Structure formats: structure tokens, C-alpha cells
Amino acid sequence: MSQTVDRARTDAGVHVDAWLATFQDALTARDAEAAAALFGADSFWRDLVAFTWNIKTVEGPAGVADMLRATLDTVDPTGFRVVEEPTEAGGVTDAWLEFETAVGRGSGHLRLKDGLAWTLLTTLDELKGHEEPTSDRRPRGAEHGAVRGRSTWLERREAEEAELGRTRQPYVVVVGGGQGGIALGARLRQLDVPTIIIDKHEKPGDAWRKRYKSLALHDPVWYDHLPYLDFPQNWPVFSTKDKIADWLQMYTTVMELNYWGSTTCTSARYDGERWEVVVERDGEEITLRPAQLVLATGVSGKPNVPSLPGRDQFAGDQHHSSAHPGPDAYKGRKAVVIGSNNSAHDICAALWEAGADVTMVQRSSTHIVRSDSLMDLGLGDLYSERALAAGVTTHKADTIFASLPYRIMHQFQKPVYDAIRERDADYYARLEKAGFELDYGDDDSGLFMKYLRRGSGYYIDVGASELVADGSIALARGAVRELTETEVVLVDGTRLEADLVVYATGYGSMNGWAADLISQEVADRVGKVWGLGSDTTKDPGPWEGEQRNMWKPTRQEALWFHGGNLHQSRYYSLYLALQLKARCENIPTPVYGLQEVHHTS
């Protein structure tokens, strides 16, 4: 934990100290109403596990009071204090905090406006008595001295691999061995929670390694670090799929994760105390009995493949974008890619480079943002060399982002995308002239809000949009009516000759995996996964305030969902791991504000 600042106070520091002292007095007195009175009418307290054993945002004094009445006695929060000198700009005072609870230590961020709290973030960082073995708590490793019959580090590791899942059961099984499952597994390893990660692919990273060859991250390296082990300083800004695959494989090895490759989960059933998870590993059926089950299958669920008339008659190749093998076999052939988001653009560009005749079918509007503009205006202040030079570490950037409540995040995002639209006005005009239908989100708040709300509907342009604008990639607009033996036919009667059809048509909700592995009843009990309830396109209301069912307790006991991009996998894996560790150690975890279910898919 950081050390409290001890130097001459600025006016901002004096104001924050006074607010924190009054706030702490109210908490100590268990006076929820007095604490709530320190919050403005339009205010937000976002808590990551510290107070609520949940990921929860409450709004306004009434919401704060309700949460505190329910949690104060068990949380027993103490020691709220600043860890660096607060700053003031534009009438808002920013302060970085730390505090303790009955069972843990936490940190946070406070914004004051007109003397009252506007936003407060509180996060649980570690559990007392169960701290990670880092820094001065790191393990000794080699044992000095002479010990008869000693076992080496490798022998102990091999014994663990042989026992876990056989003679000794894991506490957690993570289904899905991509970046999400691996990041969570690393956190749980450091917290000494026996965990097995299972994945259908043979090796860690294969989910990337086996995708089409042009696949690459569109997010920059500073945004994509995994827990504990940053990418090297000479790592490329944008990682190709094979480099990410190799990094995940290396990371799994050096973090000593219990990773079962070539393993498929065939069913799971909860008996009220433990799960019965049946897996097939290298042809052998094994039954695991974990207490907790985590589905870490990414931000998306099962691939959406449209049921089109004539699919069984089409003579060429057809597959979902997730199964696309790459462009090499399609030189000189006609390819039709149905969809106009990230995967569609990437695949179209790669097919064009390989010499295919490519047509993109745009069925609905898409938000496009040039990578350079996004890196500069959208991410540069938080995730870049510029940010690091200004003292904004990855963790500090993550915390700043987490401190912005979803209810008002669009207000911070809209000016960014207004500036991008102004900077790239000529670029957007050329796309529209080519017939491409653009949008900037339902409220012009751009890419990240689209991602949080629906997980789709955008493309970070790394080159394909220029091919659309100049006609190198042909563009067709409208829904698909049917396939014939050699054509894709749109509802307006347009006929597109095709040797290849790629369905870049997205994915369903993650609870589709729960339906397949457990039951439809459990999937419906959990409800829709992802989205905020913003009542925008593909994100139906009512307002939820947090990502549905992600990284927090669900309506199915002992079932969790983990995923998202590399940034989210890194950041939120800590809070999910702490929730699991607390349960593993029988620490009481009374959940405040368990999410209601309004949608089942």
C-alpha cells in the first residue's frame, strides 16, 4: 500500500482532508445519513468488492445511505486518507485514497465538486492475512542448507500437476484458457487458490494462433499488459496474433498455472455445495468437483450464424469469421463477407491483399475510428509513452478509467469523438461518398461506449476503410435474403457472385455457454451477460449501472463470468480473484445489490 502524504498542504488538499475527516467520522459512528449528506445530488459511488462484495454503483445521497446502512457494521471501514497531494482543475478536486476494512485493505479515487463528493471509487486490493507473495513477501525459492530427502521446486510442481484434479480437487475450475482465464488463473495462483483452467485447444495461445493470419490487436501495448508481467519495452505497439499466442504460452508456464489443454467441458451440475464438472481430456472422461465455476469464454458467447435459405445448396466455402482459415486459398476467387465490424474489415482487407475479389455486405451502420486518432485523442493520456512520462502507470490509468461511473461516462467520451470527427472529417466524407453508413453511437459517444453497451458495431481502422473508400473492397448494403448455389442474394434483389461466404455476424450472450454446459434453466436464472441497460441499440433497459453478470456474483450460486479485452481481463481479474479467495477461506461475503434479471439473452 502507498504511504500517506506528509507535506505542506495545498488548498485542494485541505478541502479533501476536511471532507475525508467528516466522512470517516460518519462511518465510525455508523451514521449512514451523515455520510450520504457529503455527496452531491448527482453523485456516484462505485465500489469494487470493498464494501459490497459486489461490483456496484450507487447514485445520489439516497443510494449511498442505503448501501451504507446495509454494509457498515460488517465492513467497518477505517483510515480513509490521501496517498498523494490532491489537485484541482475546472472546479473539480481529484484525490487518490487508501483505507482499510475489517478483512482487507483498499484504495480509491475521489472527485469533489462544490465541496461535495461527485464520484467516489473504492476498491478492495488485498485480504488481511492472505496477501500476495510479492516484494518482501516473495518466496525464498532455493532452500539453503542441507535437508535429507528434500524435494526440488520442479518436483513439487510436478507433484501438484499430478494430484490436482485426480487425488485432490481444485477449488475453482475456469472454463476457457484465453487471456481472461489465464489472467484470472495467475491471480488465483498468487492467492493460493487451487485452480484448473481447461481449454479445448492443445496449448495456451492456440485460440489466437489458429485464427486467420492477419489477426492482430487493435489496442496498443500499454493497454494490454497481463497481471504481474508487463510486455517488454521493445514489444510492438500492436501485437500480432502469433506474438500474443506465444506470450500467453510463455506466461502460463512461468506463472505455473494448472492449464489443461485438449480438454473439453461436456457438462456441469451444481448440487448446492460443489459443482460436478465433466470434462474429456485427451480422450479420457474426468469428473472435477470444484466449489466455484468460472466461465471465461471471452466477451462474446456462441457465434451467431444466420439461418439463411439456400445455405445447404451453396457450392462454395462458407464459415463464421471465428472459423476463417485465412485468405491464402482464395486468390482470384470471389469472396462475400457479411458484416461490417472489426472482423469483417480485417478479413476483407486480408482477402484483398491475397488477390481475392471482395465484397462487404453492410447490414446496419458501423462506427469507424482511425487507429491513429484513437491512440492520440482517445487513449493517449492514459495508455501511451506520453502517459507513462506524465506518471500515469498502467494501474493508475486503469483506476482513472474505473473511477468514471458508467452513468456519466458518455459525457467524457463524447468530446473525444467530437474532436476525432473534426480531425478526420475528410476521411469520413470519403467513406460516406463510397456508400458506407456511419454512426458514432446512439448518443455520439463513440467506440468505447458501444463496446460496453453491446460489444459490437465498430471498427478501429488499421487500413481496411481506405480500401472501402476507394472501391478496392466493393460495398453492398442491406440484409441477406438467401443463398443460391453460386450467389448471395440481398433482400433488394442484388445478386453477389461468391466462391466464399464469411459470416462476420457476431456472437450471442455469454450465458449461451451456460445453457450448453449446465442448463437453459440456469442460463435464464443468470440472465443476459454484458451490457449496461442503457436502452440504446442492442442494450435494452432498464439501467443496470454495471456490466451485467461480469466479474461479480450471479443469480446462480458459485457461477461466475470473466472476460473482456486484455485491459478488462487484467484489471477485473483481481476483484474476481479476491471474491473467490474470500470464499475459499470462509471469510463472510454478504453481497449487497445482487443484480436483478431483466433479460435472458
Q: Give 211-266 pLDDT, tens digit per residue.
A: 888 889 999 999 999 999 999 999 999 999 999 999 999 999 999 999 999 999 99
Q: Which domain holds residue 564?
A: 158-302+508-584
pTM of the model: 0.95
How much is the mean pLDDT over the chain?
A: 95
Q: Which three cell numbers stand for residue 158?
A: 510436478
Q: Are residues 256 and 189 in the same domain?
A: yes
Q: Are residues 490 and 512 in the same domain?
A: no
3 is a domain residue? no
Answer with the one of 105, 127, 149 that is the final residue of a domain: 127
Q: Which alpha helices (H) appear in 32-103, and where do they start and end? A: 32-36, 60-75
18 is a domain residue? yes
Answer with the one of 503, 534, 564 that is the final residue of a domain: 503
Domain of 539: which CATH number? 3.50.50.60
178 is a domain residue? yes
366 is a domain residue? yes
512 is a domain residue? yes
Nearest alpha carbon to residue 5 among 85, 117, 80? 85
Q: Are residues 495 and 514 in the same domain?
A: no
Burial class (CB in 10 A: 0-12, 13-18, 19+), 478: middle
151 is a domain residue? no
CB 5 within 8 A of CB 84: yes
DSSP 463-500: SHHHHHHTTSSEEEES-EEEE-SSEEEETTS-EEE-SE
Q: Which helix (H) or strand (E) holds 249?
A: helix 241-254
Q: In the block, which residue shows the cell 497481463?
A: 226
d(CA 264, CA 199): 6
Q: Which three cell numbers stand for residue 243?
A: 506474438
315 is a domain residue? yes
Length of the chain: 601
At 2, the pLDDT band (50, 70, 90 cuts) reads very low
148 is a domain residue? no
Q: Are residues 528 and 499 in the same domain?
A: no
Q: At what angle do helices 425-433 and 406-423 cross, to 10 degrees?
A: 80
Statement: residue 122 has pLDDT above 90: yes
Q: Are residues 437 and 529 in the same domain?
A: no
CB 83 within 8 A of CB 97: yes
Predicted local confidence at residue 211, as pLDDT? 87
Q: Give 291-343 pLDDT, tens digit per residue.
A: 999 999 876 667 889 999 999 999 999 999 989 999 999 999 999 999 999 99
Predicted local confidence at residue 212, as pLDDT? 84
Q: Give 583-601 pLDDT, tens digit per residue.
A: 999 999 999 999 999 998 8
Q: Are residues 206 and 80 in the same domain?
A: no
Q: Which alpha helices (H) appear in 76-219, and where do they start and end? A: 153-163, 179-190, 206-209
Q: In the block, which residue shows the cell 450472450?
A: 509
Q: Are residues 376 and 414 in the same domain?
A: yes
**Taking CA 446 as the corner, what is the angle to CA 445 and CA 451, rounded to the nearest 5 degrees?**
110
Q: Are residues 397 and 516 in the same domain?
A: no
Statement: residue 143 has pLDDT above 70: yes
Q: Give 175-203 pLDDT, tens digit per residue.
A: 999 999 999 999 999 999 999 999 999 99
Count structural domains, the chain: 3
Q: Are residues 254 and 377 in the same domain?
A: no
Q: Are residues 391 and 271 in the same domain?
A: no
Q: Are residues 28 and 176 in the same domain?
A: no
CB 340 within 8 A of CB 439: no
Domain of 78: which CATH number? 3.10.450.50
- In this structure, what DSSP letter does residue 375 have? I
Bridge partners, 55 (sequence order): 48
Q: Are residues 498 and 422 in the same domain?
A: yes
